[in-house]
Amino acid sequence: MTIHRAHIAGAALASALSMTSSANAQALEYQNTSGGSVTVYGQLNFGYLNFDDGESTTDEIVDNDNSPSRVGMALVQPFGDNQLRFRFETALGLRSSSGISQTEVPDGIDWDRTNIRHFDFAWANPNYGTISLGQGSMATDGVTGADDSGTDVISNVSVSDIAGSFAFRDSTGALTGVELSDAFSTFDGGRRGRIRWDSPEVANFTFSVAHGTEILDEDADTDYTDLAVRYGNDFGDFNVNAALGARRIQPSGSDDEDYVIGSVAVHHAPTGLSFAVAAGSEDGGGDYYYAKLGYARDFFAVGTTAFSIDYYEGDDINGAGTSSDSVGFSVVQSLDSANSEIFATYREYSYSDGTATSYQDANATMIGARWKF
């Protein structure tokens, strides 16, 4: 039913704009006679999650929070050398893998305005860059996510996404107040209501700066400022992507929080091997590093098969003296003709806080599929 409504909404929008349509392998695109276009796109990304906290297991059909189900519309209209752009995108509000826990299973669908990912206008000029205004990515959104493994749909630096609200149990079997999302963080910039500038590409570098605030949560009163630099280039058979960013969070009535984050990914095309690292540090607070090894080959005619193993280690993420570790194994099979992927992952989590409390290790398993349209 959700798929059907998404297509109807896209077609109705296109008709209202009196644009002609043309099929696209991954989206619906409508073009006008002046070079403008509207693209309607989206994805469904469902999985079966099993979480074992050392004492009990929880099983549920969920929306994969590594890359939530969504629908969006992107408009591009040229004006000479300039472009006016508009983007609207929302998650569907389906039961999230990071929203369930041992004590709570949310409704199957519960959409509210915090599910809006983008409501964003932009003006782009090839000489002066792009100015963006509205709900959208801060400059450091995705800076920690450089990854060419082909398994990022289910395995990436945000290792708690598949089970973030589950709590660790202590050695007696009692649930603690420590959730996975408390112990594993990326310090990523995320999306806010902001103004952002992106430079034109210069010698394979792009620079970005943004300032914003939380506009979708009425109870939030925090300002965000960040800047980032991104780099991408080929060196013979090697492709390199890298990003580095700095963030400042200014909560009302609290001290400022400063972060430095970044990532690098290297892919060797002839062998299908890839390697990625990411790291982040809070001034006076916690830090982490993350490493991922990937391998992708076309074993089958239907599409590429990708494997990865990754490791996360955090110190002081949930307060001074805390330590968190996670290791994951993942496989993704692309189905090119169906614009789909099927995936499976297994991930272990461990946590300690330097006190007499001993926390049991936990693990999560997810199998599922993503379909893009």
Which CATH number covers residue 90?
2.40.160.10
Domain that holds residue 122: 2-372
The CA-atom distances, in angstroms, between 247 and each of 78, 190, 253 are 33, 11, 18
Average pLDDT over residues 182-189: 97
Q: Write b or e for each residue in 54-68: b if 16 or more Cβ atoms lie within 10 A of its Cβ, otherwise e.
A: eeeebeeebbbbbbb
pLDDT, position 27? 77
**Residue with the two structure tokens 């296109």:** 14
Q: How many domains does the chain have?
A: 1
Distance between CA 176 and CA 274 in Å, rounded? 37
Choose the most confident range, by mean pLDDT, from 213-222, 249-258, 359-368: 359-368
Percentage of the chain surpassing pLDDT 70?
93
Dihedral pair phi/psi, residue 60, rounded to 5°: -160, 150
CA angle 138, 144, 145 (to 5 degrees): 100
Average pLDDT of 218-247?
96
Give the pLDDT of residue 218: 84
User: Is the overall model pTM greater than 0.85, yes or no?
Assistant: yes
Residue 315 CA to residue 320 CA, distance in Å, equals: 8
- Whether 253 shows a pLDDT value over 90: the answer reads no
- Report how far Cα 87 is from the mean position of its chain's Cα atoms: 17
- Both ends of the chain: CA-CA distance in Å? 15
23 pLDDT tier (thresholds 50, 70, 90)? very low
**Rounded to an integer, what distance in angstroms lies between the CA atom of residue 324 and that of residue 178?**
11
CA dihedral 174, 179, 184, 189 (to 10 degrees): -170
370: Cα within 13 Å, side-chain hemisphere: 24
Q: Check pLDDT > 60 for residue 24.
A: no
304 CB-contact burial (10 Å; exposed 0-12 / middle 13-18 / buried 19+): middle
Residue 246: strand pairing partners = 227, 260
Closest among 171, 185, 49, 178 to 106, alpha carbons compared: 49
Q: What is the arithmetic mean of pLDDT over 152-180?
A: 97
